[in-house]
């Protein structure tokens, strides 16, 4: 079974293109923090190239930007090609089957530390409990 689940932030804006047959393809790169800290106490980050096709590709290009948080479900694919200098090169990509947008354009606010925070609008109003009449 070849299945991968990743949650991370885009490291650059999506790159949308089309194949010769007119199929949309979008290439994105995401940064994923490791779950546990290393010996120094800091958490390392891994970077993954993600390829999305057709409608998913078009939606990624339309709604995502650098810093957007996404969840990717897909498979790992290895491929090789010949570089301009004639050497054989290898690359590993994640081919996306599903991408969920955890934040989109306009949803993020940047904090002083540069992190992205999603602040949903719940529509709830605060309750004034100065008279202590609430039963709990």
Q: What is the pLDDT of residues 20-60, one digit of tens each?
A: 999 999 999 999 999 999 999 999 999 999 999 999 999 99
Superfamily of domain 4-105: Nucleic acid-binding proteins (2.40.50.140)
Beta bridge partners of 109: 117
Q: Which of 104, 89, 101 is nearest to 52 (CA)?
A: 101
Residue with tokens 């999506």: 14
Degrees to nearest 5, angle at CA 44 with 59 and 114: 60
φ, ψ for residue 13, nearest 5 deg:
-65, 150
Mean pLDDT, residues 97-121: 62
Residue-range domain boundaries for the chain = 4-105
Per-residue pLDDT at 103: 83
Locate 15 and state its tokens. Answer: 């790159």
Q: From CA 64, how far away is CA 108, in angstroms rounded?
A: 11
Q: Answer whether residue 126 shows pLDDT above 70.
A: no
What is the average pLDDT score of the chain?
Answer: 86
């Amino acid at each position: 079974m070849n299945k991968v689940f990743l949650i991370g932030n885009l490291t650059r804006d999506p790159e949308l293109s089309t194949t010769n047959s007119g199929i949309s393809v979008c290439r994105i790169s995401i940064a994923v923090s490791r779950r546990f800290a290393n010996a120094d106490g800091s958490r390392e980050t891994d970077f993954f190239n993600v390829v999305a096709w057709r409608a998913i590709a078009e939606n990624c290009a339309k709604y995502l930007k650098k810093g957007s948080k996404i969840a990717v479900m897909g498979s790992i694919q290895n491929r090789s090609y010949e570089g301009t200098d004639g050497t054989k090169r290898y690359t590993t990509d994640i081919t996306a089957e599903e991408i969920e947008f955890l934040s989109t354009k306009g949803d993020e606010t940047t904090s002083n530390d540069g992190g992205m925070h999603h602040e949903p609008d719940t529509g709830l109003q605060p309750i004034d409990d100065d008279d202590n009449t609430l039963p709990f």
